Amino acid sequence: MFLTYAEAANAQKMLGANPADPLTMPIDEARSQQDQYFQTLNLDLPDIKKSEDFVIEGPSGNISLRMSYPSLERDLNCIVFIRGAGFWAGGLDSHSTTTRALANLSTCVVCAIDYKKTPEHRFPTQRDEVIAVLKWLQGEHQRLGIKSNQFVLFGESAGATIALSVALKLRDDKSPLIAGLSLFYTNAAGPKPTLRAYSQWVWEQYLGHPGLSKDSNAVPLLDPLNDMPPVWIGVGEDDPLKEDSIQLCEKLSNNSSLVSMKVYPQLPHAFLMYSGTLLPAFEALKEASMQCQNFFSQRQP
């Protein structure tokens, strides 16, 4: 049964789950509380045909992956899911509702990546881990039952920022691995002075220093954003970072990239995590899944 956003948020509070504040508690304690918060969003997981975990070697140590299969057919398209949670929290379990529903709605295999967290690991660790996973998927595609010539990056919040950095790096390296990007409420403009303290902290942990980085790969809106793959953007009307998504759409469009954006009425940042209980969030995930299918069909030989 789907709820309104207020009802869904209140149901979480009734379970005693509140997001953690890493500015007021030790990072390990904050992660533990955030994990409890995530658990309440993943109580009734969608059924899928198969889930399989892998650990692969990466540029900064081992990387954990989870593959969610909507069917047992072979030669399926593959979506690479990059979670949000401010770069510092979350894992393979934190977004299970989203990844499983995404697999079913898109009829694609979804590969979720447990990239290394800040502040222990900073940019470009997360970007390089995603690229390592893409190359592993390509090399192991027959064993995994997926296609090898194209992947869609699906990122939300911090994960959308990482996805953009990956696409920029692959563009510069002339590596055509990406069929498209499906992004929710990206945080792509860096630590602007107008951001709240939490967002400033998130960027400082990611970049390793206060203030704006000059690296246009770390802060994607600093890049010209030319020659990018097709991009679809979803963002809530009440998202305090909505302007980042608007600027991203405008900049891509000005550089002749294929881009579209949908603003969802009366929804805040991170609303996609409520897709199991909130109908507008589920419908947004469904629309993003259709866009992923479109990206793949456009790249078919």
For position 250, what pLDDT does the model report? Answer: 97
For position 213, what pLDDT does the model report? Answer: 80
Residue 202 maps to which CATH number? 3.40.50.1820
Give the pLDDT band (50/70/90) at residue 149: confident
Q: Which range (10-24, 81-95, 98-112) has the least confidence?
A: 10-24
For position 39, what pLDDT does the model report? Answer: 93
The number of distinct structural domains making up the chain is: 1
For position 192, what pLDDT does the model report? Answer: 83
For the cut 60, the answer to whether the pLDDT of residue 225 exceeds it is yes
For position 180, what pLDDT does the model report? Answer: 97
On average, the pLDDT of the chain sits at: 94
For position 12, what pLDDT does the model report? Answer: 66
For position 7, what pLDDT does the model report? Answer: 75
For position 212, what pLDDT does the model report? Answer: 80
For position 301, what pLDDT does the model report? Answer: 53
For the cut 70, the answer to whether the pLDDT of residue 148 exceeds it is yes
For position 147, what pLDDT does the model report? Answer: 96
Q: pLDDT tens, 227-284?
A: 999 999 999 999 999 999 999 999 999 998 899 999 999 999 999 999 998 999 999 9
Residue 14: domain span? 5-299
**DSSP sequence for the chain:** --B-HHHHHHHHHHTT-----TTTS-HHHHHHHHHHHHHTTSSSPPP-SEEEEEEEEEBTEEEEEEEEESSS-SSEEEEEEE--STTTS--TTTTHHHHHHHHHHHTSEEEEEEPPPTTTS-TTHHHHHHHHHHHHHHHTHHHHTEEEEEEEEEEETHHHHHHHHHHHHHHHTT---EEEEEEES---S---TTS-HHHHHHHHHHHSSSS--S-TTTSGGGS---SPPPEEEEEETT-TTHHHHHHHHHHHHHTT--EEEEEETT--TTGGGGTTTBHHHHHHHHHHHHHHHHHHHHH--
